[in-house]
Amino acid sequence: MSKLAINVSNKVPAFKKGTAFVIGVRNSSKGMGLTTSKTDVSVLSKHDLEHLGANFNLESMSRVAAPNGAIFALLGLGDSAVEKLNPDAYRALGGAIARNLKGIAQVVVDLGITKQDDLLALIEGIQLGNYEYNGLKSKANVKPIAFSKVTVITDLKVTAANLSRIQIIAGAVQSTRDLVNTPPNLMYPAAMVKEVQSASKGLGLSITVWDEKALAKDGFGGILAVGMGSSRPPRLVKIEYRPKGAKNHLALVGKGITFDTGGLSLKPAESMVGMKYDMTGAATAFQSVVAIAKLGLPVRVTAWLCLAENMPSGTAQRPDDVIKIRNGKTVEVLNTDAEGRLVLADGLSVAAEAKPDLILDIATLTGAATIALGNRYAGLMGDEKAVSVVQQAAKNTGELVWHMPLPIELRQLLNSDVADIANVKIGNRAGGMLIGGHFLREFVPSTIAWAHLDVAGPADNGGAAYGYTPKGGTGAILRTMVEVASGLAKAK
């Protein structure tokens, strides 16, 4: 990821070698044509766009020679009869620009944008799309990203505050992606704690960490049970942001399973690949607070990161074990691969003790969420007030959530003969995501607004990059979390 400078201007720079000029291509009843721009595109008018290889499909891009060694990057803006160019579309187009032109240092974007919301979304998409994770590849196998300066041509004005906000939030999304993409031999509970301590410096955040002894002393039976099979012990991290004058309190609870083998209820080998992503909820909650603090939002925010590695060993929890959660409820563990809900139960219980105005938990909780909603939508469950808040925030940010029900008849499937509740219903394959939501509901008092986000689908993009979404960890839903906090900061 390169450091990217974005500015807005109504003057088009001169054509010169090493600069790409992004021009829109749109289809209409008159056929395919270039969109309005201030850039001199007369050289293109002499040619048939189709013969030049141009395509109007959204996010498609073709390159054509421009004067003085520059190039035209012809960006597909869709069919005017089908695609509406709203902020969501421009955000995706911005991502496509960053992805396709990362080998070019200076880029001029001239799409004829006339609406402020569209302009800000485009800039945000460019920042979000400017990402690449190369992990532990040797330098010989990494192609440097040249992409470093973008000028957007428009008569509209953008404030420094607008650009700073976009950069802060995009930076938090990219940091979340880095955490999620890090191999599990390098990202384990204690390593995550170090990441939190390092990133929190200078932000006025208060950090509290529970090790395995403190977890046992303070009754965090769920986190302890899940982590007891690993040689790398579990941790609970509390990150607190308490600005002066804050009237409302938001609690974020994140599932942080740094690697999930399934425990003694072992996953098949192929299903284990990618389970480094099982700490996405904790990474998202952590970086959400970082972004909120950097933005200086006047709202109290407490994040609880429930960190454990779910491994099989002679010390691992067993199916049939009964454990006690922080709030005193007992859980019969019937499947050790339904571990996320056990650590979240502790996190939700302790978060509720401070009686916040809203609790949001985020987790890669169930494969059932992906079966139901595919790979791009997060499942949203909870009470009416909290669900409504999250839905509006997601709409504002262009992130995809889908409200799922919590049918009352499913709750009885978690009844246990030996404990207050079981963590699964063995043999039941119906409504798995919803049953997970019911389990979590048991650990939040009905007097506190609560919503659960199952991000098992959108947390990890296993396919090709699209829009501003890279392959691998996506950082999905972080922008929604920050937007929720922004709303609470304004609420009386």
pLDDT of 148-170, one tens digit each?
Answer: 999 999 999 999 999 999 999 99
Residues 150 and 223 in one domain: no
Please report the pLDDT score of residue 135 as a whole number: 86
Residue 450 has pLDDT above 80, yes or no: yes
Catalytic residue among 232, 300, 341, 425: 341
pLDDT at position 276: 98
Query: Last residue of some domain: 112, 134, 155?
Result: 155
Same domain, 126 and 259: no
374 phi/psi in degrees, rounded to 5: 80, -160
Instruction: Reply yes or no on whether the pLDDT at 463 is more than 60.
Output: yes
Estimate to the nearest angstrom the gap between the alpha carbon of 157 and the chain centroid: 29
Q: Please state, in angstroms and rounded to a whole number, the distance separating the CA atoms of residues 353 and 327.
A: 9
Q: Is 155 annotated as a binding residue?
A: no
What are the CA-CA distances from residue 462 to residues 15, 87, 237, 279, 379 (Å)? 38, 25, 29, 16, 18
Name the residue range of residue 15's domain: 5-155
Quick one: pLDDT band at residue 1, thresholds 50, 70, 90? low
Q: What is the pLDDT of residue 2?
A: 62
Give, in order, the Cα–Cα distances in Å from 82 to each of 53, 78, 89, 318.
21, 7, 12, 54
**Which sign, positive or negative, has the C-alpha torsion 83, 84, 90, 91?**
negative
Report d(CA 303, CA 487) in Å as an integer.
17
> Could you say which of 155, 184, 216 is where a domain stops?
155
151 plus 182 within the same structural domain: no
Check whether residue 92 and residue 176 sit in a common domain.
no
Residue 38 pLDDT exceeds 90: yes
Of 104-113, 133-142, 263-272, 415-424, least confident by mean pLDDT is 133-142
- Residue at 163 is within a domain: no
Query: Is 255 a known ligand-binding residue?
Result: yes
Domain end among 155, 177, 204: 155
| Residues 337, 418 within the same domain | yes
The verdict on 219 and 150 lying in the same domain is no
Q: What phi-psi label fits residue 69: left (phi over 0), alpha (psi between -120 and 50 degrees) or beta? A: left
Checking if the pLDDT of 492 tops 80, the result is no
Residue 83 has a pLDDT of 87
CATH of the domain at 104: 3.40.220.10
Domain assignment present for 162: no
Instruction: Please report whether residue 399 resides in a domain.
Output: yes
Helices marked H in 228-329: 269-272, 280-295
Domains contained in the chain, number: 2
Residue 267 catalytic? yes
pTM above 0.75, yes or no: yes
> Any catalytic annotation for residue 492?
no
Q: Annotated binding residue at 339?
A: yes
| Same domain assignment for residues 18 and 121 | yes
β-pair partners for 180:
none
The pLDDT value recorded for residue 370 is 97
- Give the separation between CA 464 and CA 454, rounded to whole angstroms: 22
Between β-strands 401-403 and 330-332, what pairing exists: parallel, antiparallel or unpaired? Answer: unpaired
Q: Please tell me whether residues 379 and 425 are part of one structural domain.
A: yes
Residue 257 — pLDDT band, cuts 50, 70, 90? very high
Q: Which residue of the set 267, 329, 411, 471 is catalytic?
A: 267
Residues 287 and 147 grouped into a single domain: no
Distance (Å, whole) CA 483 – CA 392: 9
Per-residue pLDDT for 226 more than 80?
yes
